[in-house]
Structure 1
């Protein structure tokens, strides 16, 4: 029976964690190989494109998980835009607390360090963030929120900026501020009965 290996998945998970905690540029392939426990030969077999290939795959996977999280929050809050916002903000706050305020966003970190100089990675990051905006906009529209795409762009931008503020302040208070601010704004943006 052929032997299976989880070296590829471990390398991706390790690289994503390191990219989120310390950034793309500060993360070396040797560190990823060592911390993931991947055999060097196996690592280079799976990632012939090196760190750029890792970044591309991480961007796609991270974006897909974000869309899934937005969809789950939308499913849990049908017709309730304010509840949707509060649920996502609470989830982000919990993730920051659980990581001891060390986790940044994989897409944001890659964009900060590689865009626009790397057109391929820039396109992947842009597509991922656009997918988040579209997923949120769809739920806002279903909740009767006017200008749902603009609201979704502002909300995703606020969540992304909040990671930086949360890491710097070692506090999750910014997520409560976002939730309350958007809740107040939504009262004026929703269609009446």
Structure 2
């Protein structure tokens, strides 16, 4: 298929950018390091991302959003309740933190904190990423009997608390903050919900 090799190189570059942002932050990730990490030809970065680092950062944020979105969707399909879904998500995040020795965090929060005030393009990418996680959680809560405005507010709180818990877990080198957040949120999510018919 025409373009397959190019698409693979583009994806490798975005995946490398994503991993390096998780480890070193956006500002601490240089383009030469990304190219080297991806094992890509030097000229390929500007071929695939002619607008440079912001374009590559945007693609990495989109990739992170899609992966976490898939985790949420898969967890929702395999769960009877919103609290159970959240438990699956938290377990996956806790495993990721432990496996990386607390070196890998959420790249979306990293980019938001570092670049949200400096780059409208990256701020928009991060806002879209967070929305892509809030929306399905909201829909799940609606399916379990929550009114739409309440579901939206709760879903926003869930994503915000989980993001914060990942940061605190990294700082403390412990998954306890994540599990504490999961316990508190499970109580909140289960109150007043009804199993969908």
Cα distance between partner residues in 1 of 2:49 and 2:195: 53
The alignment yields a C-alpha RMSD, in angstroms, of 2.2
Q: Verify the 8 A CA contact 1:29 1:51 in the aligned structure 2.
A: yes
Q: Which residue of 1 aligns with 2:177?
A: 174
**Whole-Å Cα distance in 1 between the matches of residues 67 and 107 of structure 2?**
11
- Gaps spanning 5+ residues in structure 1: where? none
Match of 2:9 in 1: 7
How far 1:186 sits from its partner (Å)? 3.1
Q: Does 1:121 align with 2:101?
A: no
1:191 CA displacement: 4.8
- 1:31-180 counterparts in 2 under 5 A? 31-78=33-80, 80-145=81-146, 147-180=150-183
CA distance in 1 between partners of 2:146 and 2:104 (Å):
31
Normalised by the length of structure 1, the TM-score is 0.90
Q: Deviations over 1:36-55 (max 9, x none)?
A: 22111122211211111101
Unaligned stretches of 5+ residues in structure 2 = none
Change (3 A) 1:187 1:69: closer
Aligned residue pairs total: 192
Q: Secondary structure of 2:191's partner?
A: helix
Match of 1:28 among 30, 45, 50: 30
Contact kept, 8 Å, 1:145 with 1:186, in 2: the verdict is no
| Alpha-carbon offset, residue 10 of structure 1 | 2.0
| Deviations 1:102-159 (CA, angstroms, capped at 9, x unpaired) | 1111111111111132112211211110111011111111122451111111110111
Report if the CA contact (8 A) 1:16-1:58 is conserved. yes
Q: CA, structure 1 residues 7+188, in 2 after alignment: closer, same or farther (shift >3 Å)? A: closer
